[in-house]
Amino acid sequence: MVKTKTKFMTEKTRWAYYMQAIEPHDQALLKAFPDYHPMWVIQSQEIQVTGARFKYMRETLLGMSVDECAAYLRLDRGTVYRYERDGGRIPFSAFELLRVLYESPQFKMGHQSWDGWYINKDGKLVCPDVGNLSFSPNDLASVRHTHSYNKTLCLEVKRLTRELQIANEKLLRFQQNQIEAEILEELIELEQALSAISSRIGKSKVVSLKFAKNQIAKEKAA
């Protein structure tokens, strides 16, 4: 690689060039961007526009037809064919426009499933399905944490729901036992009342329910 004076570039910019194996050789760009280089500037320095590369960008990366590409670049389709057949000089601006489009979030959101979504001037991703719902990068960065927290809450809700179910079952059994106890108490009170009435009117003594139960059991045993 040809050594180029890059002392005015930031450390991070130099690192980005190095990691992508791109040599910052264009003196006009280095002069225009003395410190920080946006990624589209860095990647533009490795580009040598050829017909094959132009066609690859149009056809394979962008998935554009010749007619779509010509319409987007405001050219006639014959010019696009000529570019791709190396029939004439390809303006860097034409290729760069396609490359920047490919790198843009607008193109990445060009899939039909992103229909209506867009990034507004504040850098927020706007949803078309819910009015005025937008997401900042920080919002999106916390989505995984939110999902994890939601999963934890769902598990906790299931656990508490099960505990509540068990508690309700215990309460139902208690209520049933309470009803049985109340019925038994009423029977005893009724027995006492019958005994009292019987003694007052001078009739034969009312047989105790407990005694009658024991007698029936003895007769069955005999």
Pair (76, 161) in one structural domain: no
φ, ψ at 109 (rounded to 5°): -95, 15
For the record, the structure tokens of 171 come out as 């309460």
Q: Is residue 115 part of a domain?
A: yes
What's the mean per-residue pLDDT of the chain?
A: 81
pLDDT of residue 31: 87
Torsion sign, CA atoms 83, 88, 91, 96: positive
pLDDT band at 1 (very low <50, low <70, confident <90, very high): very low
- Say if 2 falls within a structural domain: no
Q: Other C-beta atoms within 10 Å of 70: how many?
A: 19
Scan for tokens 């290729």, then name that residue: 95
25 domain-assigned: yes
Are residue 189 and residue 199 in the same domain, yes or no? Answer: yes
Residues 88 and 44 both lie in one domain: yes
Mean predicted confidence (pLDDT) in 168-182: 83
Q: Is 193 part of any domain?
A: yes
On whether residue 6 sits in a domain, the answer given is no
21 and 97 in a single domain? The answer is: yes
Q: Nearest-5° angle of CA 75, CA 78, CA 81?
A: 105
Element (H or E) spanning 53, and its range?
Answer: helix 51-55
Mean of the pLDDT values across residues 114-118? 79
Query: In the structure, what pLDDT confidence band is assigned to residue 119 with cuts at 50, 70 and 90?
Result: confident
> Is 131 contained in some domain?
yes
- Same domain? For 153 and 210 the reply is yes
Cβ atoms 46, 84 nearer than 8 A: no
The CA distance from 47 to 68, in Å, is 23
Note whether 78 and 135 are same-domain residues: no
**E strands in the chain:** 118-119, 125-127, 133-135
Domain presence at residue 162? yes
- Phi/psi region, residue 135 (left: phi>0; alpha: psi -120 to 50; beta: rest), is beta
Strand (E) or helix (H) holding 62: none
Alpha carbons 161 and 139: distance in angstroms, whole number: 31
Asked if 120 and 210 sit in the same domain, the reply is no
Domain tally, the chain: 3
Q: Are both 85 and 45 inside the same structural domain? A: yes
Percent pLDDT > 90 in the chain is: 18
Q: For 9-18, 101-110, 133-142, 178-187, which range has the lowest pLDDT when averaged over its residues?
A: 101-110
Domain that holds residue 204: 144-221
Q: Are residues 49 and 84 in the same domain?
A: yes
Tell me, yes or no, whether 71 lies in a domain. yes
Cβ-contact 20, 42 below 8 angstroms: yes
- Dihedral of CA atoms 77, 82, 83, 89 in degrees, nearest 10, equals -130
- Same domain (yes/no): 152, 209: yes
Residues 26-80: tens digit of each pLDDT: 888 888 888 889 888 888 887 778 899 999 999 999 999 999 999 999 999 999 9
117 with 173, same domain: the answer is no
Residues 105 and 194 in one domain: no
C-alpha distances in angstroms, 216 versus 11, 88, 194, 207, 212? 104, 118, 20, 12, 6
